[in-house]
């Protein structure tokens, strides 16, 4: 169950801090998640302390941390410091789309729409042009968010807006979803108009939930064959989950295709090992034989940056580790 109340967010932050102490190699993503939960709990000063702790070391992604710190600072009255950090992030021209999107959305949230659009455009020119047609999910998200701000500014579509339209797969078109006047229809007495607005809002909520999980993908576990053999031998209760190794591989591809067909973006595969899984079970005060622990383990690995994006390109090595390309292996019958 997702944390909902401030107390639950604080509890989750404390759990992540303990996990970070247990797994120092994954300290940065775990502390970032803890800081996010502290923000949701209203403990913004403590969240800032965590960002400062990370920046005081040698972080892997300092631009992302600074962007998150700026967004947090502005929310509790430190506007001047937040603006200075945002300018610094922009000047550094980071290659991380998430850092750009956070600072642009911070400006948007405080009605700085022109500055937000300028920031989104600088990011698009830096990232989308260089990354070609096969854009990673964070860059796709950035282009779609840029479309929203430009729609609010009533700017005409440009090449990046058209690209965002092509990337958007939901039933409600982006122009409708990002229409600044759409909420006016909530005052209508026409049931059909109200139902149409509910549909739009549900689509927007789906995008918002996806954004909340950024940058961590929806991940599926992949047990290498030797690890799976050891897992089932040690915990025969899990044999019903993994009857054979080949069935396991087939289930992975089928599950990911089903999620993709349902419109779930940002999918990934995480490699699992028995020692890591046993340590995770111990941290949760549970037994590794408990099948309900498996999706939690996958989510934790993804949050620790262990996921590989799915699907790979058809000419890339297959995710299963075979000597074949994805197009020749599990992607062979991809439509």
pLDDT of 212 over the 50 cut: no
Nearest to 335 by CA among 314, 308, 310: 314
Domains of the chain: 61-212 (1.25.40.10), 218-328 (no CATH)
Q: Which residue's structure tokens are 């945002």? A: 86
Cα dihedral sign, 36-38-42-46: negative
Count CB neighbours of 291 within 10 A.
13
Q: Is 117 in a helix, a strand, or coil? A: helix
Question: How many other β-carbons are positioned within 10 Å of the β-carbon of residue 242?
Answer: 18
Q: Of 13-17, 34-38, 302-306, which gets the smallest average pLDDT? A: 302-306
The pLDDT of 181-190, averaged and rounded, is: 59
pLDDT at 307: 87
Residues making up the chain, counted from first to last: 335
Put residue 259 in one of left, alpha, beta given phi > 0 → left and psi -120 to 50 → alpha.
alpha
Rounded to 5°, the CA angle 210-212-218 comes to: 50
Structure tokens at 151: 């729609």
* Residues 169, 128 contacting (CB under 8 angstroms): no
3-state secondary structure of 157: coil
DSSP letter string, 32-57: HHHHHHHHHTT-HHHHHHHHHHHHTS
Q: How many CA atoms lie within 13 A of 166 on its CB side?
A: 10
Mean per-residue pLDDT of the chain: 86
pLDDT band at residue 179 under the 50/70/90 scheme: confident
The burial of 154, by beta-carbon neighbours within 10 Å (0-12 exposed, 13-18 middle, 19 or more buried), is given as: exposed
List pLDDT tens digits, range 144-154. 999 999 988 88
State the residue for tokens 């989308």.
128
- Using DSSP, state whether 299 is helix, strand or coil: helix
Q: At what angle do helices 27-40 and 62-75 cross, to 10 degrees?
A: 10
pLDDT of residue 215: 54
Strand pairing class (267-271; 308-310): antiparallel
Could you report the per-residue pLDDT of 88-143, keeping only the tens digit for each?
Answer: 999 999 999 999 999 999 999 898 999 999 999 999 999 987 666 678 888 999 99
Rounded mean pLDDT, 36-60: 93
311 or 217: which leads in pLDDT: 311
pLDDT level of residue 199 (50, 70, 90 thresholds)? confident
Question: How do beta strands 218-222 and 267-271 pair?
Answer: parallel
Q: Tokens at residue 107, please?
A: 């400006």
Per-residue model confidence (pLDDT) at position 279: 83
Q: How far apart are CA 236 and CA 242, in angstroms?
A: 10
Q: What is the pLDDT of residue 213?
A: 44
The pLDDT of residue 2 is 58
């Amino acid at each position: 169950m997702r944390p909902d109340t401030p107390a639950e967010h604080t509890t989750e932050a404390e759990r992540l801090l303990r996990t970070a102490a247990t797994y120092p190699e994954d300290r940065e993503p775990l502390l970032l998640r803890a800081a996010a939960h502290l923000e949701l709990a209203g403990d913004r000063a403590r969240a800032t302390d965590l960002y400062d702790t990370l920046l005081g070391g040698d972080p892997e992604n300092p631009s992302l941390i600074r962007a998150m710190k700026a967004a947090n600072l502005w929310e509790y009255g430190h506007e001047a410091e937040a603006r200075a950090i945002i300018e610094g992030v922009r000047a550094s021209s980071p290659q991380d789309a998430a850092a750009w999107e956070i600072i642009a959305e911070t400006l948007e949230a405080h009605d700085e729409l022109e500055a937000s659009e300028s920031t989104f455009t600088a990011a698009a020119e830096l990232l989308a042009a260089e990354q070609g047609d096969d854009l990673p999910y964070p860059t796709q998200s950035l282009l779609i968010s840029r479309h929203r701000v430009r729609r609010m500014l009533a700017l005409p579509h440009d090449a990046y807006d058209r690209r965002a339209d092509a990337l958007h797969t939901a039933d409600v078109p982006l122009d409708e979803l990002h229409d600044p006047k759409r909420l006016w229809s909530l005052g209508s007495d026409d049931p059909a108009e109200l139902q149409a607005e509910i549909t739009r809002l549900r689509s927007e909520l789906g995008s918002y939930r996806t954004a909340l999980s950024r940058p961590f993908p929806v991940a599926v576990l992949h047990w290498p064959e030797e690890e799976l053999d050891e897992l089932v031998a040690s915990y025969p209760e899990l044999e019903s989950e993994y009857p054979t190794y080949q069935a396991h591989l087939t289930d992975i591809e089928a599950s990911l295709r089903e999620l993709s067909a349902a419109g779930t973006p940002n999918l990934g595969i995480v490699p699992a090992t028995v020692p890591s899984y046993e340590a995770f079970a111990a941290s949760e005060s549970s037994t590794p034989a408990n099948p309900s622990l498996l999706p939690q383990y996958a989510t934790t690995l993804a949050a620790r940056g262990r996921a590989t994006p799915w699907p790979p390109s058809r000419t890339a090595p297959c995710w299963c580790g075979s000597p074949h390309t994805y197009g020749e292996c599990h992607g062979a019958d991809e439509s």
